[in-house]
């Protein structure tokens, strides 16, 4: 008994020491603060155009993942590019240990935009959208803190739009370009990083550099998919094209994975010049049952947008297959209001004619191009209403080589996640040749690979799946890939050891590391990615 209580006392003492360590740093004016006195004093003496706060740190401590919370020492809302330079320069002092994280809209899921005891730069203040409609090279130039939805609306006003998207548009320009930016247009136009013409970047040395395919190319390609390691993107110039006005949004169900896979791969291999190439190709796994999140009822395109009702769609499921999962192919054809519905019907019939979906059932609906691209905002509203938007999201996104996707189906889709994951399971192929080998983003070493996204939504306690169980299943999936030699790559990657990062980057690692030395040698930037430890010349006396 005595032993037990002394053990529990030492446990409490240990806890206390740990807690004290967390809070041990005090500012010179004796206000508690998570920064060294040097960094605190240097930050307060800056003449910022924007704002600086040591107290309003809650938002910057969290992200969409909702399970990793790291409190920054300060939050800066930069009012200018110079503000970003000034904050980074505080970190460059030989006595500083400051780290600096750009936060776009905080939609990553593993704390990648956090800076424990460092400075979070709330990038949403870096704004501005300018459209240039030069005949040969139309583009939009956007501040890195702008959201894609606002870029879309601004360009659509002039009848233009970027060509490559993410499924959800309340993501920042700087945030997605640091990853890749993938959706159903990427098989044809490449990810968003393949559509960037020029960027302005503040490096970890505090230099402001304009870079492009021809100017400062090393930084340009490094920053594309670079996980924010080489600099903070402040502005990006993105290619645009004349925009369609309407979209025919189509879904069809498959019982057999082989047929689903065969059709998807045939569709993404069509040349862009073909009259029969779709404008968007995705797919997802639907699990048996009426679950509104990943069950059968998700098959018809979003009824919130269309107010369409679909009768007897379950008829398509009356089959002898014993599997609990089905596959839904999702396609889109863009068109203009001047095109007649009859012509679009004819075109669609010809385009889906050779596909091998089950039951002869195709769901389709016509929506505006804007509604189609912003379709996830309707799901967002529903998730907010039931509390799952703000609950934790232990997401796993991976890129699986085409040669192994059938193995993945047999074990993971048909067994491991056969009852669903509490959210969509996306699965669609992409063409490697649309990704620049010079960019930092890494993809599997095959001509075609699949994006497989387990977009888990947990219900608030005590209703939902346990977050721990979701994490454990993610681990199980990763382990399956490792044990079976499936050369997958994580998308929106997160690792805790540098050796895992080396594996992730593979033959790009040496170049990635060399770029870090060139552009952020003190490893001040994006500490939440957990790739490089901060280099500190000399610690200040506290």
Binding site for ligand FAD (CB under 6 A): 63-64, 101-108, 112-113, 123, 144, 166-168, 171-172, 174-176, 178-183, 227-228, 232-233, 492, 526, 528-529
CB of 320 to ligand FAD, least distance (A): 35
CB-based contacts of 226, cutoff 8 Å, min separation 6: 178, 439, 440, 512, 515
Q: Among 430, 401, 406, 426, which residue's Cα sits nearest to residue 268?
A: 430
Q: How many CB atoms lie within 10 A of CB 198?
A: 18
Name 33's bridge partners: none
Residue 74 in tokens: 């300060």
Residues 6+ apart with CB under 8 A from 442: 225, 489, 504, 505, 506, 508
| Residue 146 designated active-site | no
Minimum CB separation from ligand FAD for residue 479, in Å? 24
SS3 307: coil
312: annotated active-site residue: no
Dihedral (CA of 529, 532, 537, 542) sign: positive
**Is the Cβ of residue 121 or residue 287 nearer to ligand FAD in the bound state?**
121
Marked catalytic residue, from 107, 116, 189, 393: 107
Q: Choose, from 122, 282, 294, 371, the residue flagged as catalytic.
A: 282
Give min distance, CB of 22 to ligand FAD, in A: 22
Catalytic residue among 77, 86, 167, 279: 167
Minimum CB separation of residue 283 from ligand FAD in Å reads 14
- CB-nearer residue toward ligand FAD: 168 or 505: 168
Q: Is 282 a catalytic residue?
A: yes
Q: Is 492 left (phi over 0), alpha (psi -120 to 50) or beta?
A: left
Helix residue ranges, H only, 224-340: 257-268, 303-306
Nearest distance, CB of residue 232 and ligand FAD, angstroms: 4
DSSP 366-391: EEEHHHHHTTHHHHHHHHHHHT-SSS
Shortest distance, CB of residue 50 to ligand FAD, whole angstroms?
A: 14
Measured CA to CA, the distance from residue 344 to residue 334 in angstroms comes to: 9
For ligand FAD, give the closer residue by CB, 175 or 244. 175
Question: Which of these, 398, 439, 436, 527, lies nearest to 226 by C-alpha position?
Answer: 439
For ligand FAD, give the closer residue by CB, 36 or 105.
Answer: 105
Give me the active site residues, please. 107, 167, 282
């Amino acid at each position: 008994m005595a032993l037990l209580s002394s053990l529990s006392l030492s446990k409490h003492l240990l806890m206390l020491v740990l807690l004290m360590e967390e809070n041990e740093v005090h500012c010179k004016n004796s206000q508690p603060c998570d920064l060294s006195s040097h960094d605190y004093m240097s930050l307060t003496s800056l003449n910022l155009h924007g704002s600086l706060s040591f107290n309003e740190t809650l938002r910057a401590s969290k992200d969409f993942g909702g399970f990793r919370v790291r409190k920054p020492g300060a939050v800066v809302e930069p009012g200018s590019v110079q503000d970003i330079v000034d904050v980074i320069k505080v970190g460059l002092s030989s006595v500083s240990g400051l780290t600096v994280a750009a936060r776009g809209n905080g939609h990553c899921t593993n704390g990648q935009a956090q800076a424990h005891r460092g400075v979070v730069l709330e990038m949403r203040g870096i704004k501005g959208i300018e459209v240039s409609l030069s005949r040969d090279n139309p583009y939009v130039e956007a501040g890195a803190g702008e959201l894609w939805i606002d870029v879309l609306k601004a360009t659509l006003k002039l009848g233009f739009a970027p060509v490559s998207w993410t499924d959800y548009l309340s993501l920042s320009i700087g945030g997605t370009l640091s990853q890749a930016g993938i959706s159903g247009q990427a098989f044809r136009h490449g990810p968003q990083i393949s559509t960037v013409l020029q960027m302005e970047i503040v490096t970890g040395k505090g230099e402001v550099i304009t870079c492009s395919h021809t100017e400062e190319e090393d930084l340009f390609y490094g920053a594309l998919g670079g996980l924010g390691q080489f600099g903070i993107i402040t502005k990006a110039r993105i290619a645009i094209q004349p925009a369609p006005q309407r979209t025919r949004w189509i879904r069809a169900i498959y019982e057999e994975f082989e047929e689903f896979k065969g059709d998807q791969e045939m569709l993404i291999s069509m040349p862009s010049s073909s009259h029969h190439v779709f404008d968007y190709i995705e797919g997802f796994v639907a699990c048996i049952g009426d679950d509104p999140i990943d069950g059968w009822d998700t098959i018809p395109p979003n009824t919130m947008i269309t107010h369409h009702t679909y009768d007897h769609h379950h008829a398509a499921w009356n089959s002898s297959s014993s599997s609990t999962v089905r596959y839904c192919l999702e396609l889109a054809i863009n068109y203009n209001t001047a095109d007649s519905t009859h012509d679009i019907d004819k075109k669609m019939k010809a385009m889906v004619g050779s596909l091998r979906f089950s039951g002869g059932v195709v769901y389709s609906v016509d929506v505006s191009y804007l509604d189609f691209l912003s379709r996830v905002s309707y799901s967002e509203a529903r998730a907010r209403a039931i509390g799952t938007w703000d609950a934790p999201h232990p997401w796993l996104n991976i890129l699986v080589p085409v040669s192994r996707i059938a193995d993945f189906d047999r074990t993971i889709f048909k067994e491991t996640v056969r009852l669903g994951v509490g959210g969509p399971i996306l699965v669609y192929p992409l063409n490697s040749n649309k990704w620049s080998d010079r960019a930092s983003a890494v993809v599997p070493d095959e001509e075609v690979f699949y994006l497989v996204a387990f977009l888990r939504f947990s219900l608030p306690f005590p209703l939902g799946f346990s977050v721990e169980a979701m994490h454990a299943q993610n681990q199980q999936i990763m382990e399956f890939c490792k044990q079976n030699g499936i050369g997958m790559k994580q998308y929106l990657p997160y690792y805790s050891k540098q050796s895992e990062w080396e594996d992730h980057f593979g033959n790009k690692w040496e170049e990635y590391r060399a770029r870090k030395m060139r552009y952020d040698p003190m490893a001040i930037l994006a500490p939440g990615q957990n790739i490089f430890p901060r280099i500190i010349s000399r610690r200040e006396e506290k």
